[in-house]
Amino acid sequence: AQSVTQLGSHVSVSEGALVLLRCNYSSSVPPYLFWYVQYPNQGLQLLLKYTSAATLVKGINGFEAEFKKSETSFHLTKPSAHMSDADEYFCAVTGGADGLTFGKGTHLIIQP
């Protein structure tokens, strides 16, 4: 079984500041990890995924995430926040072939 914990249902940063969205996972098998973004009134779009090839994963829109097995974490970062980054972000894990297990989501708020 697997689970995901996203710390903070809302995260607020200033425009131009570092974005850090936290994700910790639990999995009984080597995990595959995903970050998705949800635009308003739309489905989810993949930002990036970890599939064991490299621990630092680069995604779209300047986001990246680092897999740390010792900390069971997969935090999402972006060096400089833009107003257009204000959306909801979901971390997800899968250890088997049967669908994704999602965290509860984090709303990213960008302050001008």
Partner 1 sequence: DVKVTQSSRYLVKRTGEKVFLECVQDMDHENMFWYRQDPGLGLRLIYFSYDVKMKEKGDIPEGYSVSREKKERFSLILESASTNQTSMYLCASTGLRGASATQYFGPGTRLLVL
Does 49 sit near partner 1 (CB under 8 A)? yes
Does 55 sit near partner 1 (CB under 8 A)? no
Among 41, 70, 83, 112, binds partner 1 (CB under 8 A): 41
Q: Where does this chain touch partner 1 (CB under 8 A) — which range of 55-63, 64-72, 74-82, 88-96? A: 88-96
Cα distances from 48 to residues 15, 22, 59, in angstroms, run 22, 15, 5
* CB nearer partner 1, residue 43 or residue 112: 43
Q: Residues 112, 107, 94, 23: is their CA dihedral positive or negative? A: positive
**Is residue 4 within 8 Å of residue 103, measured between CB atoms?**
yes
Question: What 3-state DSSP class applies to 84?
Answer: helix
Q: By C-alpha distance, which of 95, 82, 111, 89 is closest to 8?
A: 89
Among 46, 54, 60, 109, binds partner 1 (CB under 8 A): 46
Does 112 sit near partner 1 (CB under 8 A)? no
Q: Where does this chain touch partner 1 (CB under 8 A) — which range of 10-18, 58-66, 74-82, 91-99? A: 91-99
Does 25 sit near partner 1 (CB under 8 A)? no
Does 32 sit near partner 1 (CB under 8 A)? yes
**Is residue 70 within 8 Å of residue 22, measured between CB atoms?**
no
